[in-house]
Amino acid sequence: MENTPLNQVSESNREPIIVHQDTKSYNPKKLWFLSLIIIVFILLIDQVLKIWIKTNMHMGQEIPVFGDWFILHYTENMGMAFGLELGGKYGKLILTLFRLVAVSFGIWVLNFQISKRAHKGFILCIALILAGAIGNIIDSVFYGVIFSNINHYSGGWFHGWVVDMLYFPLFEGFYPDWVPIKGGDYFIFFSPVFNIADSAITLGVLLILVFQKKFFPKHEHVHSTHTDLGINSKTESSDSL
């Protein structure tokens, strides 16, 4: 019987071996529980601080926390993170509904990634983003009704304004005259006022960007062939006999 050299095996018969992360320590239930703890913890901090601000401060009031560079500054906005807005009554409703859809999709993504055994760090980042989104949804959906007696706006269900309070004016100055458009204008860095929910979303996104190579490694395809095992040399020796 003629022996076929094993190094002539078709490439199509070589199965790639993809190296995955160790699945022995991967516990989906524990990841779900940990994600839930993160979400609840952030929501508690976010809502307790917002309710305290709303019931103990008046609009525009400031309380210095650390000198002049960390201040609790009470403000509210109709729209997105860091004081950005989507104006109008219908704009606010559309934004709130969009947030509800986004959170529903986020829950699905979290469940899907856990079922696919995604990197644990990536799972926790999704939990951070999800917690932040839910935190601002609570303001939008309920605050227009719960605080209707003290609101400075006419709200209602799905028309609540988001409470912001974290203000970090780290330094201020004037743009150099040679800067286009802004030359000579006064500026403050960092001027946006935001909340804990915004911070959670931003932190989750930044961590994904920074650790994306770790969260999404490129799997090496290792072709395991008989030649690699040295069997081919043995076959050639037997043929020569």
Catalytic choice (46, 139, 164, 177): 164
Q: For the range 125-128, what are the long-range contacts, defined as Cβ-Cβ under 8 Å and sequence gap of 24 or more?
A: 125/204, 125/205, 125/207, 125/208, 125/215, 126/35, 126/204, 127/34, 127/35, 127/36, 127/38, 127/39, 127/204, 128/38, 128/42, 128/200, 128/201, 128/203, 128/204, 128/207
Catalytic choice (139, 198, 228, 239): 198
Active site residue 68: no
Q: Which helix (H) or strand (E) holds 76?
A: strand 70-77
Q: Which helix (H) or strand (E) holds 30?
A: helix 28-56
**Two tokens at 169?**
């004016």
Active site residue 198: yes
Residues in CB range of 22: below 8 A, 6 or more apart: none
The 3-state DSSP class for residue 167 equals strand
Catalytically active residues, by annotation: 164, 198
